Structure 1
């Protein structure tokens, strides 16, 4: 990151880092960022910053904790929903409040079985900022189960604190509520719109369904790209983590997502999301029953997109995130 961004971050975190004395806050922050960005060992950090390994470890986790505490407001799903909706409006998605996707992070050992991993559920806006992150779920769990146990689901379904804003009237007079897009591994719900699945008959998808799936597919790329850029900038996440680190790893993933948001706010250049990142992580589609209200809302939006035409490509050119 640039010197100006580092200086701003240091100013925000210093009041909470003074307890690390005698390690100066600037040393602690620089050492933690070096480990996050290069995947460096504590031994390497200790040599570079003239610390012992135990102190380097303590400083690293302290900085991560302070970032979570002091920058948590950068997950803006609850605080800046109007901005989020306007952003998706530019790319032909009226009243859309985010794109929900998953990423996997590999774990060594037998605890989660062969090729076991931790799952991270992330909600992303049209600029590639994370709005909500739920990390640390074992890959043995179904995506639907993870969703239903997350705070995001509770905030929508139980407390009704989220996605409770005004409905949007489409050009044909039909109103649709606030919603988010989700991959096919999720259930279709009135507030979570998944793509149409092509049936086995010869008819295939109609023009409205194809229009919706086209916009939906490009929308889902926002989540994939955001996760890819987090990995590219914070290469500690590319390591295969040991079983004994499972409890701390989700905490570190959230730290990296918050720093990602912070650097977008600072207008820092975005890294190439393809660095060291494989996207061969297809999750099985949801096989349960489709929600009737969810189908009605998705059909209405699909008809709208088919009528007005998809301006996603033109809209994406206006987005700093995709350029």
Structure 2
């Protein structure tokens, strides 16, 4: 799990992504290994050869594209459940619990929780409480984003479309 706690919770995910070094690292890795892996993102992220997003607008039913979108939504639920496990293990991260510290200290707490959570998973340390996964009350519906032809790195967008189409038609 990669965590970036430098921004407040109200900051849009795609902005945080654009400020992260992870995107550049994945781009370099993708070019080196020519499509050996893909990162899945929701429609708020830009389509790239290494970052695969759903089709917009929603494609017609019973097409490879609609099955692809359905699978992406299913995977996204699994990802949100991972965040729920982290919040269940470290209840200070829940929405209703406010960290009463300076922002830099809060960022360190969030990063520390993520590191400790990863260590717990690696060492098969169970959750303290066997309650159901805790959500944070947010609606994680996909934000509709228009794919514009004048975006920077438009060749990335076109290559991403090509790869997404290949994946949808080959596997769905």
TM-score by length of 2: 0.79
Question: Counterparts in 2 of 1:267-306, with a 5 A limit?
Answer: 267-270=124-127, 271-272=130-131, 274-275=133-134, 277-282=136-141, 284-289=143-148, 291-306=157-172
Separation (CA, whole Å) in 1 of partners of 2:105 and 2:142: 25
More strand by share: 1
Contact 2:54 2:68 survives alignment (8 Å): yes
Partner of 1:225: 81
Structure 1 residue 296: Cα displacement = 0.5
Contact 1:179 1:192 survives alignment (8 Å): yes
Is structure 2 residue 108 aligned with structure 1 residue 251? yes
**Hey, which bits of structure 1, 4+ residues long, moved more than 6 A?**
none
Structure 1 residue 234: Cα displacement = 0.6
Structure 1 residue 259: Cα displacement = 1.2
TM-score by length of 1: 0.45
Separation (CA, whole Å) in 2 of partners of 1:275 and 1:210: 29
- Which consecutive unaligned segments of at least 5 residues does structure 2 have? 150-156
- Which consecutive unaligned segments of at least 5 residues does structure 1 have? 1-129, 168-175, 307-323
Structure 1 residue 135: Cα displacement = 1.5
Structure 1 residue 133: Cα displacement = 1.5
Structure 1 residue 164: Cα displacement = 4.4
Contact 2:92 2:98 survives alignment (8 Å): no
Contact 1:229 1:272 survives alignment (8 Å): no
Give the one of 33, 49, 56 matched to 1:190.
Answer: 49
Give the one of 108, 121, 135 matched to 2:5.
Answer: 135
Separation (CA, whole Å) in 2 of partners of 1:182 and 1:248: 29
